[in-house]
A = this chain, B = another copy of it.
Amino acid sequence: MSKIERVGISLEPELLAKFDALIEKQGYPNRSEAVRDLIRARLEQEYLADTSADAVAAILLIYDHHLTGLTAKLTHLQHSHLLHIITTTHVHLDHHNCLEVIILKGKVKEIQSLADRMTSLKGVELSRVNIMSAVGA
C-alpha cells in the first residue's frame, strides 16, 4: 500500500532459529511477512473485543435440508437483523447435510446475535462464526 518502514528487533539466537524453522515450514517468504501476520492477528483480537466495532463475518452452518421450514427460517432471520448480507454459498455435503456460508457486514454484537439465532434452530447441527475486522490493516 503506502511506503514501508523498517524497524530493528533484538532477540535471542535460539528463539530466532526456532522461529526461522517454523516460518520456513509454513512457507513464509521472509521474516517480515511472518511478523506482520503475528502483529495483524494480535491487533485484530484487540479490535474485535469491542462489540460495537464494524466487522465482516462468515457464518457457517451445517444442517439437514430435509427439515421442512428450516430454509425459510434462515432466510427470515437474515432479513430481520441490522446487517448487510453480502452473499451466501450453499454446498451439498451428502444426502442429508448441506453447508451454508453466509458472508455479511455489521457490528460485532449484531453478528453474534444473528449467529446465535441461526445456531439455535432445530436442524442446524454445527455452526461456526468468523468475525474479522472490516479492513485488513
Chain A residues with a Cβ under 8 A of chain B: 1-16, 18-19, 22-23, 25-29, 31-44, 46, 56, 58, 60, 62-64, 86-87, 89, 91, 93-94, 96-97, 99, 101, 103, 116-117, 119-122, 125-126, 128, 130, 132-137
**Neighbour of A91 across the interface among B3, B5, B15, B87, CB < 8 A:** B87
Instruction: Contact check, B32 vs A9: say whether CB atoms are below 8 A apart.
Output: yes
Instruction: Contact check, A31 vs B7: say whether CB atoms are below 8 A apart.
Output: yes
This chain: copies in complex: 4
Residues of B within 8 A of A99 (CB): 56, 58, 103, 132
Instruction: Contact check, A22 vs B36: say whether CB atoms are below 8 A apart.
Output: no
Identify 27 residue pairs between A and B in the complex whose beta-carbon atoms are under 8 Å apart, listed by A's number: A1-B64, A2-B13, A2-B14, A4-B11, A4-B13, A5-B12, A6-B8, A7-B8, A7-B11, A8-B8, A9-B31, A9-B32, A18-B43, A22-B43, A26-B116, A27-B121, A29-B122, A33-B120, A37-B125, A44-B126, A58-B99, A62-B136, A64-B136, A94-B135, A99-B103, A125-B136, A126-B137
